[in-house]
Amino acid sequence: MRRLSGTTLDVLITVSRLLESRLECVRHTVYLMGYAPIPYGMAGRIDANRVRSMEKYAYDELASQLDQSRLTRDEPIGPFTTFRIGGPADLFYSATSADDLANAIAAARHLEIPFFVLGLGANILVGDRGFRGIVIRDRASSFEFHEDGRLRAESGVVMADLIPQAVEHGLSGLEHYVGIPSTVGGAVWQNLHFLSPAPQRERTVFIAEVVASCEILSESGDRRTVDRDYLKFGYDDSIFHHRADFALAVTFQLSPGNPADMHRIIQENLSWRGARHPWLQFHPSAGSIFRKIEGVGAGRLIDQLGMKGFRIGGAQISHIHANIMVNLGGATARDVRELIALAQQRVRDELGHELTPEIAFVGEF
């Protein structure tokens, strides 16, 4: 494998830091943490052609450290998100194991190339201009059941694939989250949650309740296993929102359960969600747009203003759930952002509440 010389690496780091110094570049906490894109152009400070040349060299060096069969350039990101919106990534890589994911992240960090890790692509809106850097799609999909009820699953395992397997093994704890688009990594990032089983539905159940430990690539670059306390779970929150740690695999501690009861819960939850949320197959969305307001649902405020069904371009506030915006076909990120801004303005001006987006905005808009 070709390695960078110390001098070349110093130049790359210097260019990257110069770029970062004039930017809007904030760290993004998207499903797992990445970095915001670096805008082009350093007029009067550094020659643009030189910047592009050095950037290309860094990209080529990164590409040389990845499996070429799973690496593409200028890949549209939209099809890999639940909103089906978003422009191209400079580099797009599918990591197929925890080791592969850790290596890709480490390589991007070493070369200081902006990156983010993509799960199922829910809860995000990708800009129309795409992402300048590398998108690492988490396809690490290995999982293993143990006799004591433990289940170890890599971060890219899709929850919809894992839940039926747990039920088949007679293990309870994951069935509550059926119908929520998420990978295992996304589940711990967001502390996936749903209402407890019908008919009472008296409380919210959280994925944190069955998490025993998590294998992470830390902010400092070391791999280690941490316990549940380290993850600092909260409502729609975890340590991954606040540190550049990445989940590589999760071990769940499940309990023996009756498969018949679990199938009942699955059917009831799918029916409940289907009656209250637009179906992604027909109306792509990112899920809830705004954060929960204590005592007042964001969707109720928007509904109170009669905004269900209101649209800008191809983006529409859902007729079913006012805190969800759907892609009617051909929606752009600009359409969605304008619709978000309008809802915020009207709720602020007419009802006196501030709506804060829950989704992450990724890339260049």
Q: What is the DSSP letter of 323?
A: T
With vertex at residue 31, the alpha carbon angle to CA 26 and CA 37, rounded to the nearest 5 degrees, is 30
Sheet strands (E) in 281-331:
285-288, 311-312, 315-317, 324-327
- Residues with Cβ within 8 Å of residue 201, at least 6 apart in sequence: 195
Q: Which CATH number does the domain 6-138 belong to among 3.90.1150.10, 3.90.190.20, 3.30.950.10, 3.30.43.10?
A: 3.30.43.10
- 284 neighbors 83 (Cβ within 8 angstroms): yes
Q: Which residue has the higher pLDDT, 57 or 247?
A: 247
pLDDT of residue 17: 41
pLDDT of residue 327: 98
**pTM for the full predicted model:** 0.85
- Residues with Cβ within 8 Å of residue 321, at least 6 apart in sequence: 276, 277, 278, 299
pLDDT of residue 51: 63
Average pLDDT, the chain: 88
- 185 neighbors 156 (Cβ within 8 angstroms): yes
Model confidence over 9-56: pLDDT tens digits?
Answer: 443 433 344 334 333 333 333 333 333 333 333 333 446 676 677 788
What are the residue boundaries of the structural domains of the chain, listed by start? 6-138, 143-274, 279-360
- Residues with Cβ within 8 Å of residue 260, at least 6 apart in sequence: none
Using CA atoms, how far apart are residues 231 and 240, in angstroms rounded to an integer? 8
The CATH code for residues 279-360 is: 3.90.78.10
Using CA atoms, how far apart are residues 18 and 12, in angstroms rounded to an integer? 10
Mean pLDDT of the 270-291 span: 94
Look at the domain 143-274 and name its fold.
Answer: 3.30.465
Question: Has residue 3 got a pLDDT over 50?
Answer: no
Mean pLDDT of the 83-110 span: 98
Mean pLDDT of the 297-322 span: 97
Amino acid at residue number 305: L
Question: Has residue 219 got a pLDDT over 80?
Answer: yes
pLDDT of residue 200: 77
Q: Which residue has the higher pLDDT, 269 or 19?
A: 269
Number of Cβ atoms within 10 Å of the Cβ of 232: 15
Amino acid at residue number 312: I
Mean pLDDT of the 339-349 span: 98
Of how many residues is the chain composed? 365
Residues facing 217 on adjacent strands: 223, 246
**pLDDT class of 294 with cuts at 50, 70, 90:** confident
Amino acid at residue number 26: V
pLDDT of residue 50: 65
- Residues with Cβ within 8 Å of residue 226, at least 6 apart in sequence: 213, 214, 215, 216
Per the structure block, which two tokens stand in for 294? Answer: 């204590």
- Distance from the Cα of residue 66 to its chain's centroid: 22
Q: Name the nearest CA neighbour of 117 among 142, 144, 151, 89.
A: 89
